[in-house]
A and B are shown apart, each in its own frame.
Chain A
């Protein structure tokens, strides 16, 4: 579908008739709607959604009529889309107006809305359901969010579930029609089986076989339901485990800090013991060697003051000793015989020499005592070295202690409110869920095995029924059934192949676009869509990251928007359907780097691109960038100076040279 024109009549902010010419050509496929905030950009977007799909749930219909018009007594508003689709000219108009001939105060209760479609000037349908079906055949309501979206809320697209993505792909890529066909054939198979069974049941044996078959079929259906329920339960359990593990990881980090703190306390305790031990050793050394060490030091210091004494050569025996020795001899050294007279004289001499001898003795003993200090010098030296070593160790230990104590204080504040009991409960809950997961998996396997057994039984029964010898009538019914089953199987196989091909196509296209738009090409390698349709980020190291709400390592808001845009663009590229892409503010909340890439890519988003933006969000530089692709630019303004808008088109820039 290509939209050529949209007309608003008293719709929301728009006052009176406001018409937008949105026609395009191959070169210029972009239309821009400029408006300051609160003037009517989002109303443009809402108008299209209202026209195609009706008001969203809970909408007060009076809010859809321009307030100024309402106050003037004008209770009708409409949006008309003039488009081309598959070679047909369409006018899709949805109107809000008073219900019947309602009188009195106009409220949501007495307003109604109606959709009408003209195809090539004629109204082919007068049934609401048929018009609804036709709109959904162009762009299904569930798939509309991939064509019409709010650029500021787009990052949530990348955390949808796998089922959401699969459904989108099926819808937009036209595979849903195959699913409908498959469903139709499934119904047809049941109908044909019923017809055949009715024929069979007219015979006894055939009747028994049919009854058996029905019972087995019920069992198969029951097991299939059980398997589906198990799948859902497993999915829920896994999601819960992932959430709890994320919480546990946060607590793990704190727990590691607690463990570190405990280790540090142990180390501090040991160091303090070492400190005490060193003090003890120092004291012991002091007690045993303090005097000797200090004595050696002092001896070195004081030696110069007694140098003369020490260096003086030792004199011979004092004269008194010599003479005393002589007194005991019979003869003097000169040979004279020792007489009493001689002895008496010698005694007198001894007496006079006493003082001198004492002086000599003092000197001698002093010298000896001073020199005696040196005997201990080696021992003192060794003791001093040992003492110095202990002092060094003490300094080292003190330094280590200070560092550890500082770190312990840091950790004390980090650890804060860690709640061990809560963490324990988390871990227990995870363990319980993992056990439950195993149980459910076992149950599922049991159900699958039983289901497969019953399926085999069913197949055997079908074979028996097929071989059952009866009428031509039954034969015909059997043939119809066989053909129907063949078509059904072919469709299923075709669908599976097509889904897989389309999944890869969407994945490749999204990935290619993502690498053009992202500013982190060194970090991300591609986007992946798993077999179960989960969107994954392939990082540069080859690992796959699943974006889930609340995960701390999720990409930034800007990056998430890029991922979502890439995914949407990838789907658009992969679809055979043609529909305009309408974006409300595609560049808001992006960094400069991303904005440039997004603006450059916008024209490639689809065959027709319409976006609404403020002048500030799309500065002059970006306008120049996109100008070659723009057909028209509309400038809206609010012409009311009262409470409620009277939005109209202030100006149009026709850039289409055709």
Chain B
């Protein structure tokens, strides 16, 4: 029997805030955008912030995301909600990720940097 929450590796992960991802990469805070994606998702969960609406830009394929990070993000999001299938789960993850990005963007505007210590 196939897993319900098994994410399709070819599926693209999207965001509304691709410019922020690029900026973080340019400033060498991250090497890969998926590092920020999974982290931002957890920030979104911690701050209980989601961002609905269509994700206009692609970050990467699910298959490119670090396996361990994805497991942790999945597990944490499943603690918060009960999606019916993998698609819905991914949408939840994207929603929390964009919510987390909004929080991180606010930090960045205020302090000129991401305060990593603030969350971990």
Contact = CB atoms under 8 A, between A and B. Distances in A.
A273 interface: no
Contacts of A365: 3-5
A370 to B, nearest CB: 5
B5 A298 contact: no
Contacts of A287: 30-31, 35
Nearest to A306: B79
A297 B72 CA distance: 11
Given A295-B72, A376-B68, A391-B117, A290 B79 contact: no
Given A291-B38, A387-B120, A298 B3 contact: no
A290 B66 CA distance: 12
A295 B79 CA distance: 11
Interface string A467-507: 00000000000000000000000000000000000000000
A316 interface: no
B110 interface: no
B116 A298 contact: no
A366 interface: yes
Interface string A290-310: 111111011101110110000
Contact of A294 (B5, B28, B31, B46): B46
A370 B5 CA distance: 12
A384 B78 CA distance: 24
Contacts of A298: 42, 45-46, 76, 79
A369 B119 CA distance: 22
B4 A358 contact: yes
Interface in B37-93: 38-39, 42-43, 45-46, 66, 68-69, 71-76, 78-80, 82, 84
Given A287-B35, A372-B71, A391-B117, A294 B42 contact: yes
Contact of A376 (B39, B72, B78, B82): B72
Given A295-B72, A299-B75, A372-B71, A290 B120 contact: yes
- Chain B interface size band reads 20 to 34
A292 B68 contact: yes
Interface string A362-377: 1001100111110010
Interface string B4-23: 11000000000000000000
A140 to B, nearest CB: 88
A9 interface: no
B69 A292 contact: yes
A139 B120 CA distance: 97
A106 B80 CA distance: 123
Interface residues of A, number: 33
A183 interface: no
B68 A362 contact: no
Given A361-B1, A362-B4, A365-B5, A286 B72 contact: no
Nearest to B27: A283
A294 B75 contact: no
B100 to A, nearest CB: 10
Contacts of B28: 283
A306 B28 CA distance: 37
A171 interface: no
A294 B4 contact: no
Contact of B69 (A291, A302, A361, A366): A291
Given A365-B3, A365-B5, A370 B82 contact: no
B120 A373 contact: no
A472 B28 CA distance: 120
Contacts of B45: 298, 302
A186 B39 CA distance: 110
A290 B116 contact: yes
Interface string A42-84: 0000000000000000000000000000000000000000000
B75 A362 contact: no
Contacts of A283: 28-29
A295 B43 CA distance: 9
B35 A294 contact: no
A362 B6 CA distance: 11
A362 B82 contact: yes
A391 B38 CA distance: 23
A657 to B, nearest CB: 95
Contact of B5 (A302, A369, A384): A369
Given A283-B29, A287-B31, A369-B75, A302 B80 contact: yes
B29 A299 contact: no
Interface of B: 1, 3-5, 28-31, 35, 38-39, 42-43, 45-46, 66, 68-69, 71-76, 78-80, 82, 84, 116-117, 119-120
26 contacts: A283-B28, A286-B116, A286-B120, A290-B116, A290-B120, A291-B35, A291-B73, A292-B68, A294-B42, A294-B46, A295-B69, A295-B72, A297-B46, A298-B42, A298-B46, A298-B76, A358-B4, A362-B5, A365-B4, A366-B5, A370-B79, A371-B75, A372-B74, A376-B68, A384-B120, A391-B117
Return the 6 tightest CB-CB contacts between A and B, nearest first.
Answer: A295-B72, A373-B75, A291-B69, A291-B38, A302-B79, A294-B42
